[in-house]
Chains A and B, each alone.
Chain A
Amino acid sequence: MQKSYDGKSLVVKDLNLAIGRGEFLTLLGPSGSGKTTCLMMLAGFETATHGDIFLAGRPINNIPPHKRGIGMVFQNYALFPHMTVGENLSFPLEVRKLGKAEREEKVRTALDMVKMDGFEKRRPSQLSGGQQQRVALARALVFEPDLVLMDEPLGALDKQLREHMQFEIKHLHERLGITVVYVTHDQSEALTMSDRIAVFNDGVIQQLSNPDDLYERPENAFVAQFIGENNRLTGTVEQRNGKIVSIALDDGSKSKALAVNCGGQGSRTVLSIRPERVVLGWENESNTTLGEVLELTYLGDHIRYRMKVHGNPDFVLRLPNTSEHAKLTVGETAKISWNIDDCRALDI
């Protein structure tokens, strides 16, 4: 699918995505990358400039939003301020012409489900952010849609509440067996909740995989950089031996890496190494070097060292704060090393 708002540039360039029934799929990407636009096309509020959308095998491009039967949770909840919580929840049931008794029953069940029973008579403005969030969730679920779309639903909550709600949404998804398409720009949220994550940038899906693959096996530099912390070393491919490439780094030294997404001999590449995969000492013979400690940040359970490695002053090491580990001091030069498998040669 493609989408353009102004006829000049494509906001969504090449979206080709199949979502399984009962899946929790997250669209993750920086702000402005076209996530909301994708969701709006799915919900029917924006028309696709090119391409088709199928729901359960049925093309829905020409079906208006209110006939698609897709539940939706908006970023600012969009709870109707002139209705009580009960009326808000009963709204989708009323437009479906359900009887009064049935409506009340379903509203009660839905509020029970999000632990908001007893709040029927309140107005949305009399609820806290977390409570509003729950009501919005209940309202999207009360008419039992198969597919629920959520556009940064936790964006307005504080950290603790957000983490709590992440688990509740996840549990609801598991219990009800619904399909969820979830939009966020928060990578940790995406990693904790999703079955699969589609990383978005510039209107293109950069990588679509499950959370651990995404973190441990990023396929390009954008994903490696966007998900978690990442050390980058740039260089040129010298020689390619099947899955292993030899790299001449820009400071003149040599290194070996896993060929993931790099060209042949002579092409530029960036090596990606996770900070927690770098170890002290030279036990791994393949990639050993020295690093000068520039900065030390105490983070409680672990310590974060910023070092100058191969000419890169932003090389980060993350060491557990245990008694076995010797503590480094600023200015000290330490022996460090990493495994070839943990060093991925990606596009630049």
Chain B
Amino acid sequence: MPDMAEPILAADGTPLKKKLGQALFRSRLSAFGLVVPLLAFVVVSFIVPIIALLWQGVYDKRFAVLMPNTSAALSDWSGVSEPTEEMYSALVADLVVARKEKTIGRVATRVNRELSGMRSLFTSTARKAAELEAPYKDALIAVQKTWGELETWQAMKIASRVYTPGYLLASLDFKLNADGSIVRQDENRRIHVKLFLRTLEISMVVTIACLLLGYPIAYLLASLPLRTSNLLLVLVLLPFWTSLLVRTTAWIAMLQSQGIMNDLFVAFGVTSDDDRFSLIYNKTGSLIAMTHILLPFMILPLFSVMKAIPPSYVRAAKSMGASDWTAFWRVYFPQSVAGIGAGVLLVFILAIGYYITPALVGGQDGQMISNIIDFHMRKSLNWNLAAAIGLVLLVIVLLLFWVYDRVVGIDNIKLG
């Protein structure tokens, strides 16, 4: 037996461990070389942009950069006392520069997010800023009475923070005050939490519906002979061959009040002609269309896991006296759990970020959180808020992932 204290030596006298490391290094190097292009691509085109975007959810230097004097003055201000003459003069100086540099619009937009009405106040005042004379406090208040109000200055103080929890708080329906305190949004402006909850609800319902519909299909496919099951699998995959847009539009034709489903309901007397179901442009529409579109993502992992379960297990169970149901429930089902895990996770994560389908068929109450992100990205151009909502969504998904790992175990997942 080799002495444990003494390292084993290779034939040329170097320690075996080092020798092995050297031998493996080359193969590791070439393996790494093979993944470098993809790694670089993923980092440059995926990870960096995502981090950069999410970063905007907590980082906004616009006001601080464009209004440097005001920002410096505001940082010394408590937020509750009367604004001083230095603050007013700093503001006028910054406004003059901003007007000249044509950056005033961006500043106005930024402050307007904290307090509505600020946009026009800033742009109109900036036009006259160059002609104002000291004392600036009175001059500004003469231009617009709003300049004398505490609220205006508090909005600017919040906007001047470079690292700000404001957007994150906003995406959770909270508001940051100038004195640093956090309060809930006014009742009628709380929309995000409701949307997050609805998104979770829709995702869960869609996932459960996919599981209930997909499990029997996968089971059937897995128990059929290979030729037949391959043919049917093509049918399952058929939807992938048409664009998502076309499929979603097809659902409009199916589900609208003068559509095929409602015509059938009327024809079979389920409902009367002037009392047709509203199956689309609401949550029902989102649920139906999303379930249809995400179903293959449930069936495929289930199928591949079920296909790998040897039929001899169920036979063995039956030979030991188990009825069909017992054999299924005690022997087959536990072995298909890995596929359920994969399918559920896949569908849920796809569903939670879905937005085209809800946008097209969701109406008002079928909208999901991604639709709001989309709105802020393209309409209101409030990228910071969009990033913050995205960040919250990411955290929620990771949290659910963690819970899932705790409950089911992530290594129980099998895609085939």
Contacts and interface: CB of A to CB of B under 8 A. Distances in A.
Closest 6 CB pairs of A and B: A92-B320, A72-B319, A78-B316, A78-B312, A65-B318, A66-B318
Nearest to A82: B334
Contacts of A64: 318, 324
A44 B322 CA distance: 13
B316 to A, nearest CB: 4
Given A72-B315, A78-B316, A92 B335 contact: no
A81 B322 CA distance: 17
Contact of B321 (A75, A81, A143): A143
15 contacts: A44-B318, A64-B324, A65-B319, A66-B321, A72-B320, A74-B315, A74-B316, A76-B310, A78-B312, A82-B334, A91-B317, A91-B320, A91-B322, A95-B322, A140-B319
Contacts of A344: none
A76 B318 CA distance: 16
Interface residues of B, number: 19
Nearest to B316: A78
Nearest to A79: B316
B278 interface: no
A4 to B, nearest CB: 16
A139 B320 contact: yes
Mostly helix, strand, loop or mixed at chain B's interface? helix
Contacts of B108: none
Given A78-B312, A80-B313, A95 B335 contact: no
Nearest to B319: A72
A140 B316 CA distance: 9
B335 A81 contact: yes
B230 interface: no
Contacts of A92: 320-322
Contact of B323 (A66, A71, A75, A91): A66
Given A72-B316, A76-B310, A95-B326, A82 B335 contact: yes
Contacts of B319: 43, 65-66, 68, 70-72, 140, 149
A277 to B, nearest CB: 43
Interface in B184-212: none
Contacts of A149: 319
B330 interface: yes
Nearest to B320: A92
A92 B330 CA distance: 11
B331 interface: yes
Contacts of B313: 78, 80
Contacts of A68: 319
Nearest to B332: A80
Contacts of B321: 66-67, 69, 92, 95-96, 143
